[in-house]
Amino acid sequence: MSAVATGILGVIFLFILLMIRIPVAFSMFVVGFTGIWYLNGFGAAMALLASESFTLASSPELVVIPLFILMGNVASATGMSRRLYDAAYALIGSVRGGLASATVIGCGGFAALSGSSVASALTMGKVALVEMDRFDYDNRLSTGAVAAGGTLGILIPPSTGFVIYAILTEQSIGRLFLAGVFPGILLLLAFVACVSVICWFRPAFGPAGPRTNTMQKLRAIGGAAPIILVILLTIGGIYGGFFSPVEAAAVGAGLVILIGIVTRTLSLGDLWNATRDSVTTTSTVMLILISAYLINPFLAYSQIPDFVGGAIIGLNLPPMAVLALMLLIYLVLGCFLEGFAMMVLTLPIFFPIITSLGIDPIWFGVLVVLTLEMGLISPPVGLNVFIVKSVAMNVPLGRIFEGVIPFWLMMLLTLAILVAFPQISLFLPNSMFN
């Protein structure tokens, strides 16, 4: 069997394993290790497993993952995320659809701490769904806002998605974090606009909440001041050149723990649980990355990237058409595959093509991460939808998917804007690093 045929068979087998719900890390490990064994021998497979695992595990850039995850878990345990929602609630909760908009803003703020879409959807879902249900919000709007707002965790820095992309493509984590700031804010505003449009045409979907006076607003903003300070210090420190991303993660994690101790909102048990959850999540990410470092050499040995790249270049399409084709593939794959699996499978094939066409890899990273976000609420897999379902158990799954459709369309519009205007993504990284 030829190397290309072996590679195609391996990719098909990988899809089969993923479809029968074998965990992503184990699926990629089996295919990558077995494929290298077949093509280069058992010794080569074992050597790669040992060398790549050690190289990855000793990479200092990866320290940002457990630290940012710990920061988000501690912020949730201390109630910082709830106070951020309360501040948004006090400011705009009294307008029609205001609670849903406050939920989106709260998700955006929590995303800037946790870097995790799942954590954002789960945490804000527990906080916001009860409030929106109390004020008779239509459950399609309430669950849709939480599921969509949670996706901001993978775009607004610090983002685990950007870290994984940077490692797989050897790009700067700091540049990618900065590139995600304006697109993240743009998407957040698009979601708020989506809520306003829905409530304009369907007033019963989002009744106005209770009014708050100036003192209540100031008190709520004061309660959220610690979490806002942490966000400004971590992201602002990276932009100002005071911290590297790793140092910013350490500063952020240390600050939320210190604030929790000083305010007596963080017990030893809370810290233990947050640390344990962070270790569990980090271990999952590390397993996926180690498996990625096995399957990438297998794809290289099988010459799949060269084969696919040659086929695409042979179409003689302009660079923007090639980019559009790749994004379309990501949108389709997002309906069936988990985001990390998509990056691991596609980047070894797509990234060389992107660089050969002169497309900016940082800009491409933002577009890829945004399409991964869309996969989080795309049927039938839509991970964030199932996370919200676990919180809103009385809401049928079909109604949640119905609720995310307007937000998915706003994400598609945002993607089109970012494709048309690359400087939205590239202004901050270019102004700081050049």
Tell me the pLDDT band of 366, cut-offs 50, 70 and 90.
very high
Q: How far is CA 336 from the centre of its chain?
A: 16
Pick 321 or 65 by higher pLDDT: 321
Pick 356 or 289 by higher pLDDT: 356
Measured CA to CA, the distance from residue 304 to residue 298 in angstroms comes to: 9
Model confidence at 434: pLDDT above 70: no
Residue appearing with tokens 């069936």: 336
Model confidence at 193: pLDDT above 90: yes
- Look at residue 151 in the predicted model and tell me its pLDDT: 84
Model confidence at 89: pLDDT above 80: no
CA separation (Å) from 301 to 15, 38, 211, 346, 354?
A: 19, 10, 64, 15, 20
How long is the chain?
434
- Look at residue 336 in the predicted model and tell me its pLDDT: 67
Tell me the pLDDT band of 431, cut-offs 50, 70 and 90.
confident
pLDDT, one tens digit per residue, over 268-295 is 888 899 888 888 877 877 777 777 777 7
Model confidence at 214: pLDDT above 70: yes
Pick 110 or 273 by higher pLDDT: 273
**In the chain, what are the domain boundaries?**
3-433
- Look at residue 409 in the predicted model and tell me its pLDDT: 94
Pick 254 or 61 by higher pLDDT: 254
Q: Which of 366, 351, 343, 367 is nearest to 293 (CA)?
A: 343
Measured CA to CA, the distance from residue 36 to residue 34 in angstroms comes to: 6
CB 227 within 8 A of CB 114: no
Q: Which of 89, 76, 166 is nearest to 134 (CA)?
A: 89
List, in order, residues 6 or more apart from 186 with CB less than 8 Å away.
414, 417, 418, 424
- Look at residue 357 in the predicted model and tell me its pLDDT: 86
Report DSSP letters for 298-363, one per residue: HHHHTTHHHHHHHHHHHTT--HHHHHHHHHHHHHHHTTTS-HHHHHHHHHHHHHHHHHHTT--HHH
Model confidence at 226: pLDDT above 80: yes
pLDDT, one tens digit per residue, over 368-423 is 999 988 888 887 667 778 778 877 878 888 888 899 999 999 999 999 999 999 99
| Most confident residue range from 19-23, 227-231, 395-399 | 395-399
| DSSP state for residue 152 in the 8-state scheme | G
- Look at residue 191 in the predicted model and tell me its pLDDT: 94
> What b/e string do you get for 393-429 counting C-beta neighbours within 10 Å, with b at 16 or more?
eebebeebbebbebbbebbeebbeebbeebebbbebb
- Look at residue 426 in the predicted model and tell me its pLDDT: 93
Model confidence at 140: pLDDT above 80: yes
pLDDT cut 90: percent of the chain above it: 15
Model confidence at 120: pLDDT above 80: no
Model confidence at 238: pLDDT above 80: no
The first and second tokens of residue 95, run together, are 């307008």
Tell me the pLDDT band of 249, cut-offs 50, 70 and 90.
confident
| Most confident residue range from 60-64, 203-207, 212-216, 366-370 | 366-370
Return the minimum-mean-pLDDT range out of 26-35, 305-314, 339-348. Answer: 305-314
- Look at residue 230 in the predicted model and tell me its pLDDT: 82
| Rounded mean pLDDT, 216-240 | 80
Percent of the chain as helix, strand, coil, to the nearest 5 = 80, 0, 20
| Rounded mean pLDDT, 301-313 | 72
Sign of dihedral through CA atoms 372, 164, 283, 25? Answer: positive
Model confidence at 34: pLDDT above 70: yes
Model confidence at 114: pLDDT above 70: no
- Look at residue 10 in the predicted model and tell me its pLDDT: 84
CB 126 within 8 A of CB 237: no
